[in-house]
Structure formats: structure tokens, C-alpha cells
Amino acid sequence: MKDSISASLQPFPIGLWVPPPAHEVSVERYKEIRDAGFTFVIGFREIEHGEEAVIKALDCAQANGLKYLVSDPRVKNLDVTELSAMEPLVSLFSSHPAYLGHLFFDEPGADQFDRLATLARSYESHAPDGLAYVNLLPDYASAQQLGTETYADHVERFLLTFKPKVLSYDYYPLRMNGSIKATYFANLWTISEACRLHQVPFWLFIQALSYNGTHREPNEAEIRWQVNMSLAFGAKGIQYFTYWTPEPANGETFEKALIGKDGSKTLTYWNVQNVNREVASVGPILQSLQSEGLLVSGEALAGVEHTLQSFGPVTALEGDPAIAGCFSSGNQPHALFVVNRDYTQPADSVIVFNDNRRLTIRLEPGEGKLIPLT
């Protein structure tokens, strides 16, 4: 699986939604982003303050070794009859050393896929190394929003039509009542299986704040759990929703994110920094490997249609509820990434080998550990 985009975001793609607002953009603010462990920034509303505001954000990203994804509605809203406008719009920013790509659409319905694909091919002819970025809906979107009969159809149609370099999607699982949304694992499974089939890397968003009175603020273990579950399923990048606390919009309200509305760091900033340091250690290893599926201990994961019964020298995963992402290198079993399925209690996971050896791993809430098999 060739993934030049992820490879450019060393040590591992870690992005954010809602960066500092235009009046707060500075080298110092972007240093805070870097210090929290991020590697790229998704632009938000900077263009509303002029092209120079986007250039300033790119400059601040470059000063801190970050990449920056431009959000410019003039590109997103182009009609297929207006492709001649693509090159001058893209060239405004594409030569900047911090440039990662352009945001083309957040959560499109399937009726947008053909238009977006046409725009993306035009874009790629002018910026062949750039990322035409689209972020997909989660499976709890309505059929009307999806524009397809099933979520699997939505994902498959996007992959076949848009042909993304990277597939991104969002899913915010942490409910205010303390529960996890029922289809969390099913959504991960649908995306990971489709991307494995099409040889496309996937990124996803991590819930980092409370919003709408329906989704709770995650603690450090819940952030770690989301991230490590994503890695175990084969994600090649993660993104956080959100970094800066957004203003209310489109009927939605938001509590504090990593940075409060007053510009101060919240507890979540430090929690994310801790988790991102762990990702920076294990992520580059997993990025170079091929995801082959999952071993599961405990109850079956709802919506996960197929799990492995063994992997290389491993014949079973036993003990407390856990999952083990199975990764290969050169078609040979290479490693397990074992994750505690509980974000409130530690777990003892037991890896059983074909020579009758048993390796017991202690996992803190939401923790993941990489276990080499070679």
C-alpha cells in the first residue's frame, strides 16, 4: 500500500480540526500545536480574512515543522464547467513548503461524489503531490444524508468514484450517559475492510470535547482508547475534533476543547499530548505494516463480521476483553497491537503461541502495546 501522503507527515499523521482563529495565528500558537504532538493542521475559516491570512498560517506551520491543509470554499464550490479556475486558485498556496493539500468537502452525500472526483482529477493535474481531502460521514448519518441504501455502499461508491489518496471519516462515540455508540466498531470495521480491499490508507477523527449536550468530554483514558482502537483496526493517521473550542454554529454547541475560547490550554490539551507521544512511538512502526485483521477476546464486537482465529505463531487471544490488530510485513506475520477494550479498568491479556507458550500483558485502561512476532 503506497501512502506518500502519510509518509510526508512524520513521524505519524496527527491532525486537528479548528485551528487557532485568524486573529490568534502566530508562530507561538503553532508551536503549541507542535508541542501537543500534531503533525498537520486542517485549515478552517482563515480564508475569510483574505489569502494573506492563509499564507500567514502556512508560514507559522512551516516555522514549526507542520503541514497545512488549505480550506478555500472557492475550490470546494467549483462546478465541473469551471475547471479552468482550479489552477489559479490552487497555485496561490501549493508552492508553499508547508502545503499539504486542499479540503474539498466535509461529509458529502453520494450525490456529490462524481463532481468531487472531477474536481480532484483537475486538482491533481496541477498539484500532483497534494492531497484532495474529503472527510466522510459516519454510519449513524441518515439515508438521506448518505444518499445510498447502506453505509457500506456509501463507502464503496466513494472509493470507486473519488479514488482518494487517503480516506478520512468521523465518528464520535462517547455519549453523555457514559455509553459508547452502538455502531462504533461496525463503522471501524466497514472502513478498514473497504480500505484494505482497495489498498487505500484511512484516517479518522477522535472525539476530544463535549458537544450538543449529547456527547461527553473524554478523559485521558477515553482519548487513548479511541486512538488505540483506531490503530488496532489499521488506521494510518488520526485527527482530533476539535483543537480550538468552536463558536456555536448550525444549531450545534461546543464545550471546551484542547484550547478554550480564551486561548488557554485545557486539561484535554495535556491529555492529548500524552497520548500523541505514545502514538509518535508506535505509529511509525504500524504505518509501515499491513493490517490483516483482528484477534478478539471476550464478547464478539458488534458489527464486526469476521475476526481471525489465529495469526502466524499466535493461536489465540485470551484473558480479559481485548483486541489485537494483526500486522504483516512482506506477507509475513510481523506484530500484534493489543488494546484493552475497557477504558475504566486494567486488563490482563494473554497471547497463546503455537508452541504452548503464553504471554500475559498488563494493559492499563485503553492502553495498547505492540508485540513483535519476529
Condensed to tens digits (0 to 9), the pLDDT of residues 70-80 reads 999 999 999 99
Distance CA 254, CA 345 (A): 28
**Burial label, 285 (beta-carbon count in 10 A; 0-12, 13-18, 19+):** middle
What average pLDDT does this structure show over 256-267?
98
**Dihedral sign of CA atoms 143, 156, 114, 184 in order:** positive
What stretches of the chain show up as alpha helix (H) in DSSP?
4-7, 27-35, 51-63, 73-76, 86-91, 113-126, 143-146, 151-162, 184-198, 220-232, 267-287
DSSP 138-156: PTTS-HHHH-SSSHHHHHH
Please, which residues bridge with residue 131 across strands? 101
Domains of the chain: 4-287 (3.20.20.80), 290-372 (no CATH)
Condensed to tens digits (0 to 9), the pLDDT of residues 299-316 reads 999 999 999 999 999 999
What average pLDDT does this structure show over 264-278?
99
**Residues ≥6 apart with Cβ < 8 Å to 99:** 58, 67, 68, 70, 93, 130
Distance CA 269, CA 251 (A): 26
Condensed to tens digits (0 to 9), the pLDDT of residues 318-368 reads 999 999 999 999 999 999 999 999 999 999 999 999 999 999 999 999 999
Condensed to tens digits (0 to 9), the pLDDT of residues 98-145 reads 999 999 999 999 999 999 999 999 999 999 999 999 999 999 999 999
Higher pLDDT pick, 7 / 148: 148
Q: Tell me the three cell numbers of residue 109.
A: 452525500
**Dihedral sign of CA atoms 44, 119, 14, 158 in order:** positive
| CB-CB neighbours of 265 under 10 Å | 14
For residue 5, pLDDT beyond 90: no
Amino acid letter, residue 316: A
For residue 209, pLDDT beyond 70: yes
Condensed to tens digits (0 to 9), the pLDDT of residues 149-204 reads 999 999 999 999 999 999 999 999 999 999 999 999 999 999 999 999 999 999 99
Please state, for a pLDDT cut of 70, what percent of the chain lies above it: 99
Q: What is the CA 291 to chain-centroid distance, rounded?
A: 16
Location of C-alpha cell 478552517: 44
pLDDT tier, 2 (very low <50, low <70, confident <90, very high otherwise)? low
Amino acid letter, residue 373: L
Average pLDDT of the residues of the chain: 97
Supply angle C-alpha 49, 239, 55, rounded to 5: 25
- Residue 1: its pLDDT value, please? 55
**Residues ≥6 apart with Cβ < 8 Å to 2:** 199
